[in-house]
Amino acid sequence: MTIDFSFPPEIEELRLKVRDFMATVVRPVEEKAEGNAWERKDWVQAIIEMRGQAKEWDLWLPHMPKEWGGMGLGPTAMASVSAEAARTGIGSFVLNCQAPDEGNMHTLLHWGTEDQNERYLRPLCEGTARSCFAMTEPEVAGSDPTLIQTRGYQDGDEWVLNGHKWFISGARGARFAILIARTEDDPDIPQAANSAFLVDLPSDGWEVVRDIETMSGGHNHCEIRIEDLRVPAANMLGGRGQGHLLGQARLGPARLAHCMRWLGQAETALEMMIDRSLNRYAHGSLLAEKQGIQWMIADSTMELYQSKLMVLHAAYRIEQGLPFKTEVSMAKHFVANSLWRIIDRAIQVHGALGYSEDTPLSGMLKQARWSRFADGADEVHQMTIARGAIASWKDTGAVKLATGDLPL
Ligand SMILES: Cc1cc2nc3c(=O)[nH]c(=O)nc-3n(C[C@H](O)[C@H](O)[C@H](O)COP(=O)(O)OP(=O)(O)OC[C@H]3O[C@@H](n4cnc5c(N)ncnc54)[C@H](O)[C@@H]3O)c2cc1C
């Protein structure tokens, strides 16, 4: 038997160290900020200090190779770090492994030239710059990148870009964007119409129209107008028409990184649910002693367990260089939906308190809602999963390949 569900001792030690860092360094700052209605400048100062501490604790840039100043962790080890970091609101940012920079760093590492990486990847790794990824457009379905309308044409040594984007996370204050635009009129396959560009920000022709107000407030997800934006030809990332390959290489691991953070949120919600049920008394017994409440705890526990297994297995497949597309789709769909259900049950067990803003649960629920369509809507992942299952059956007469290719 070679199945081993334990981390090597050094990774388990690291997991506990991240937990300790979040509890002793990050959480107290978040509590102070909540109690004192901090302004942006207070946050900036606190984050600089916490990032300094993350470096002192040797927890900086966990997902990047050592030659880029990172810790060189693979996807399975990252699952433990990201889940622990997500037990706080800004833990991932403090360690410099937050979305969308984390995905952009992987993208640059994979696709960037030496020059591009010195200019764009280096400052991200050093934590002196932030970035954004600009693909989705209000006029067409973000689920289908072949519909992208932002266009680029070459003019000498430059590309000229025109279009409209929205929900571009982190755009305000970003030092650069990875922008996806249609450059090919007659591609061999519809997916090969788009290219990616590195856009220095701020730039003439890149206008941040607004920070879109969402159901959980404004979180720097911006609408962008692009008008005659000029980008040097040397700033194309990857080759012409390779935008879809770049997106795929980025989105698999980036989607899983989201799932890792959601595990931390789901676990926090389950712990809160249990804690509340052990302290609330009604109709002759504690809530924890009532079967109706135990079912909610049981369902949430099972879903968290399944989520952890799916994330770890998908991370394992990425680490081993095995195909991972359907496993990541299954994990993304399952964890996103479990997250929503677990937080919702935690709110139910808290009663009116859960509905109030006195606990983090209401904010967590509102945040959790976007997980079901950002980075691939549920139905699009279901389409991928079903296609995989049908192909597996047709090609092999079995569905083993589509169910994680497990030895069962
Ligand atoms: C908080 C947040 C942050 C984001 N950050 C970024 C970012 O940084 N950069 C970026 O480029 N984008 C970002 N997005 C956009 C996100 O990637 C898109 O919302 C997503 O790709 C879906 O596109 P859409 O919103 O246009 O929905 P649409 O594509 O219009 O889909 C709407 C709905 O249609 C259904 N649907 C779509 N296709 C199918 C199908 N084949 N079968 C059945 N049903 C289907 C699904 O229910 C789907 O939810 C962000 C979104 C949010 C909410």
CB 303 within 8 A of CB 341: yes
Q: Is the CB of 169 under 6 A from ligand 1?
A: yes
Q: Is the CB of 336 under 6 A from ligand 1?
A: no
- Ligand 1, closest atom to CA 143? 29
Report, in angstroms and rounded to the nearest whole number, the Rg of the chain calculated over CA atoms.
22
Instruction: Return d(Cα 246, Cα 251) in angstroms, integer.
Output: 8
> Which residue shows structure tokens 């810790």?
71
Asked if pLDDT for residue 320 goes beyond 70, the answer is: yes
Q: Is the CB of 135 under 6 A from ligand 1?
A: yes
In the reported structure, the alpha carbon of residue 380 is separated from the centroid of ligand 1 by a whole-number distance in angstroms of: 9
- Ligand 1, closest atom to CA 165? 11
In the reported structure, the alpha carbon of residue 93 is separated from the centroid of ligand 1 by a whole-number distance in angstroms of: 24
Q: Is the CB of 386 under 6 A from ligand 1?
A: no
- Ligand 1, closest atom to CA 170? 8
pLDDT score recorded for residue 35? 79
Asked if pLDDT for residue 34 goes beyond 90, the answer is: no
CB 59 within 8 A of CB 95: yes
In sequence order, what are the beta bridge partners of 281? 286
How much of the chain, in percent, has pLDDT values that exceed 90?
Answer: 89
Instruction: Return d(Cα 140, Cα 263) in angstroms, integer.
Output: 31
Helices and strands of the chain, counted as H and E runs: 14, 10
In the reported structure, the alpha carbon of residue 294 is separated from the centroid of ligand 1 by a whole-number distance in angstroms of: 35
Q: Is the CB of 142 under 6 A from ligand 1?
A: yes
Give the closest residue (by CA) to ligand 1 atom 13: 167
pLDDT digits (tens, 9 = 90+) for 125-165: 999 999 999 999 999 999 999 999 999 999 999 999 999 99
Q: What are phi and psi of 3, to 5 degrees?
A: -75, 125
Q: Is the CB of 383 under 6 A from ligand 1?
A: yes
Q: Is the CB of 373 under 6 A from ligand 1?
A: yes
Instruction: Return d(Cα 372, Cα 336) in angstroms, integer.
Output: 6
Q: How far apart are the first and last CA of the chain?
A: 13
Give the closest residue (by CA) to ligand 1 atom 19: 374
pLDDT score recorded for residue 1? 66
Q: Is the CB of 136 under 6 A from ligand 1?
A: yes
Mean pLDDT of the 299-321 span = 95
- Ligand 1, closest atom to CA 171? 8
> Which residue shows structure tokens 């297994």?
309
Residues 6+ apart with CB under 8 A from 265: 86, 87, 339, 343, 364, 367, 368
Asked if pLDDT for residue 349 goes beyond 70, the answer is: yes
Residue 94's nearest CA partner among 118, 59, 64, 119 is: 59
Name the amino acid, one letter, at 168: I
pLDDT score recorded for residue 250? 72
In the reported structure, the alpha carbon of residue 255 is separated from the centroid of ligand 1 by a whole-number distance in angstroms of: 13
Give the closest residue (by CA) to ligand 1 atom 41: 380
Q: Which pTM does this prediction carry?
A: 0.94
Q: Is the CB of 168 under 6 A from ligand 1?
A: yes
Asked if pLDDT for residue 193 goes beyond 90, the answer is: yes
Instruction: Return d(Cα 118, Cα 198) in angstroms, integer.
Output: 13
pLDDT digits (tens, 9 = 90+) for 239-279: 999 988 887 777 677 888 899 999 999 999 999 999 999 99
In the reported structure, the alpha carbon of residue 4 is separated from the centroid of ligand 1 by a whole-number distance in angstroms of: 37
What distances in angstroms separate CA 2 from CA 6, 73, 365, one per listed residue?
12, 22, 39
In sequence order, what are the beta bridge partners of 180? 196
Alpha helices in 60-216 (DSSP H): 75-85, 91-95, 101-111, 114-116, 122-126
Q: Is the CB of 140 under 6 A from ligand 1?
A: no
pLDDT digits (tens, 9 = 90+) for 71-108: 999 999 999 999 999 989 999 999 999 999 999 999 99
Q: Is the CB of 393 under 6 A from ligand 1?
A: no
